[in-house]
Amino acid sequence: MTPIRVLIVDDSAVIRRLLTAVIDTDPAIDVVGVAHDGQMGLQRIEELQPDLVTLDVEMPIMDGITALRHIRKRYPRLPVVMFSTLTERGASATIEALSLGASDYVTKPSNVGSIGVAIERVKEQLIPKIKALCPRPSAVPRPAPVVAAPRPRAATTGFDVVAIGSSTGGPSALRVVLTALPASFPLPIVITQHMPPLFTKQLADRLHDGCAISVREAVTGDRLAPGLALIAPGDRHLVFERKAIGVTAKLSDAPAENFCRPSVDTMLRSVHATFGGRVLTVMLTGMGADGCKETGLLRDAGGYVIAQDEESSVVWGMPGAVVHTGFSDAVVPLDDVARAIVDRVATTISRPTRPRPTVSV
């Protein structure tokens, strides 16, 4: 099996050595070169033809955002993983990079006294993402996974909420879906996107600025309302409570599920407990299978499930798991997801148009 060839672009010699040490722990991945700024990185890409590039955000001569713009013009399908600081500024730059076509990101370790600890923390994030973005055929041939036929379920009688799960490639996918929804969209939307603290707030703010509906990072006590999308904060699960004023959001510090906090399965379990089967579930691009189990239970209760197709997914893990287990009702390209949501809601619900909720600051 040919190793995955990685180019590291970072102005810090310490970080270049750290990333090289991380990648050297896995025989399936090789560092084929390094560069200390974006301009040199573009030259090394042309020379080395890597399978994947790790790209620092802040660099002299040419920063990571500028370099990414050039990479996407010349190499539109080359996977690029941004390497950013876990700060508000780093989060903002990373969200900008993802909107410009970066494939994913890894956060730099902070306040780590041991280089060994730093290596392990980066390894946990970086190695799985490299392998997911650059899949290699197994040395042992395996039969193609069987896509199960949709399982029988109770008839859909209508929806009270749209629940969306996403991970790798999710910020860009969410932008495509949410910006296509009309201001008159008649249902609340709840979202779990795998991201750390600070990043989800930046993502919500950017999405709100570009959408006709309202989008914000959820806080405990937020009331679900038509035309309002709530995003689970980084490192907090998003769950729900039914009160006299309606259904409200609640943030939970319960343990990670599927190695994730926030977890899609945790959110969907609470959605199921609150709304029964009156849920339209949407599974977008992402690694792993978080959300698959509870998606199946929601569908069995009468819910409807839309999965993003493989061709338009950055990583077809989460939606692929839903499709392969027979939990999906529709498998559609990313550009068609919003229309599929609107059309499905229109056939099962009829409510008066309500004004766009005001976002408090």
Q: What CATH number should be reported for the domain holding residue 170?
A: 3.40.50.180
Last residue of a domain, one of 133, 148, 175: 133
Q: Where are the beta strands (DSSP E) in 48-128?
A: 52-56, 80-84, 104-107
- Considering the domain architecture, whether residues 35 and 73 belong to the same structural domain is answered as yes
∠ CA(283), CA(264), CA(149), 5° rounding? 40
- Considering the domain architecture, whether residues 58 and 192 belong to the same structural domain is answered as no
User: Known catalytic residue: 167?
Assistant: yes
Share of the chain above pLDDT 90, in %: 79
Of 54, 66, 67, 13, nearest to 36 (Cα)?
A: 13
Structure tokens at 65: 């955002």
Last residue of a domain, one of 87, 114, 133: 133
In a domain, 154, yes or no: no
What is the average per-residue pLDDT within 2-11? 95
pLDDT digits (tens, 9 = 90+) for 161-185: 999 999 999 999 999 999 999 999 9
In a domain, 31, yes or no: yes
pLDDT digits (tens, 9 = 90+) for 209-258: 999 999 999 999 999 999 999 999 999 999 999 999 999 999 999 999 99
The enclosing H or E element of 98 equals helix 88-99
pLDDT digits (tens, 9 = 90+) for 25-71: 899 999 999 999 999 999 999 999 999 999 999 899 999 999 999 99
- Considering the domain architecture, whether residues 117 and 248 belong to the same structural domain is answered as no
- Considering the domain architecture, whether residues 244 and 337 belong to the same structural domain is answered as yes
Does residue 356 register a pLDDT over 60? Answer: no
Which of 167, 172, 313, 328 is the catalytic position? 167
Which of 290, 309, 329, 336 is the catalytic position? 290
Predicted pLDDT at 1: 77
pTM of the model: 0.89
- Considering the domain architecture, whether residues 195 and 93 belong to the same structural domain is answered as no
- Residues 272, 273, 274, 275, CA torsion sign: positive
- Considering the domain architecture, whether residues 178 and 320 belong to the same structural domain is answered as yes
* DSSP per-residue letters across 264-288: HHHHHHHHHHHHTT-EEEEE-SBSS
Cα gap 94→338, rounded to integer Å: 25
Lowest mean pLDDT among 38-52, 124-138, 262-276, 301-315: 124-138
User: Known catalytic residue: 290?
Assistant: yes
Predicted pLDDT at 153: 67
Q: What CATH number did the domain enclosing 97 receive?
A: 3.40.50.2300
- Considering the domain architecture, whether residues 185 and 107 belong to the same structural domain is answered as no
In a domain, 184, yes or no: yes
Lowest mean pLDDT among 15-24, 109-118, 119-128: 109-118
Q: Show the domain range for 328.
A: 161-348
- Considering the domain architecture, whether residues 344 and 195 belong to the same structural domain is answered as yes
Q: How far is CA 273 from the centre of its chain?
A: 24
In a domain, 9, yes or no: yes
Structure tokens at 294: 């509870």
Residue 149, C-beta contacts closer than 8 angstroms, at least 6 positions apart: 326
- Considering the domain architecture, whether residues 125 and 166 belong to the same structural domain is answered as no
Predicted pLDDT at 146: 55
CB 289 within 8 A of CB 178: no
Cα gap 166→104, rounded to integer Å: 12
- Considering the domain architecture, whether residues 191 and 333 belong to the same structural domain is answered as yes
In a domain, 329, yes or no: yes
Cα gap 25→20, rounded to integer Å: 9
- Interior/surface letters 116-150, b for 16+ CB within 10 angstroms, e for the rest: eebbebbbebbbebbbbbbeeeeeeeeeeeeeeee
pLDDT band at 354 (very low <50, low <70, confident <90, very high): very low
- Considering the domain architecture, whether residues 125 and 66 belong to the same structural domain is answered as yes
- Considering the domain architecture, whether residues 330 and 278 belong to the same structural domain is answered as yes
What's the number of domains the chain is made of? 2
Which of 36, 194, 237, 272 is the catalytic position? 194
In a domain, 22, yes or no: yes
Cα gap 330→322, rounded to integer Å: 11
In a domain, 206, yes or no: yes
The enclosing H or E element of 30 equals strand 29-35
In a domain, 108, yes or no: yes
Share of the chain above pLDDT 70, in %: 89
